[in-house]
Structure 1
Amino acid sequence: MKRIEDRVRVLIVERGMTLLQLATQSKITEATLHAILNRNDAKYSQLRRMAETLSVKVAYLTGETDLPSMSVVHESEAGYVALKAGDVIAMQKQIIELQSKLLTLNTPKD
């Protein structure tokens, strides 16, 4: 599930919202929201407002991550990023699963 539409539709159901409520709260017209969902394309500012309304990260809406609420605190001056321990554990689990799949694919068959 990588399409913006798929993720948005799941999120609005989970939050008990409608597309009209999402559009209104995100300050996007309903027509624009439908266009975004149909094209799987949006301006970053629109995605940011939708993500804020749905309490997820833009990266989750676009399919760049499967962690909807990964909380990242950017410390630009210090040059590092702080992550919550739960987010790190979830990422580590995903890495282990991917490594396992790779090993399965690369294992010679007799």
Structure 2
Amino acid sequence: MRFAGWCVTDLAHYAYGINPYEYFMGGLKPDWNKIYGCCKGKVYSMVIGEIDSAVDRSKIKSVDYDGFKANFSKPLELRKIDYREHPVFAFIFAEVDADNMDELQKMLHADFTPYLSMK
């Protein structure tokens, strides 16, 4: 298990119910058999609401976070990001059934521009 930046490490919390920092610092090992039993058939993801580089971020008036969140049948947490500082507006953690990956496939090629209201 590795640490990662920009909220990626938090995916372990949603997927496995563990805090990787605590496990690393405490020398703990996950109970993978127990985790497999409760997570079987589920996929946990983090999707980044990236702003296209052609968009002038200084002209963004607001973001439709509810509309972005509505793309997911089981959103676990939405984290709003300051789009004036970063080229993303949100991170969302979501759970999907492993045998129905359509909503995640859709996100791979999604244009998030419609969620931005411009000045």
Q: TM-score by structure 1 length? A: 0.24
Considering only CA atoms, is the larger Rg found in Structure 1 or Structure 2? 1
**Structure with the larger helix share:** 1
**Structure with the larger strand share:** 2
Higher relative contact order (CA 8 A, sep 6+): 2
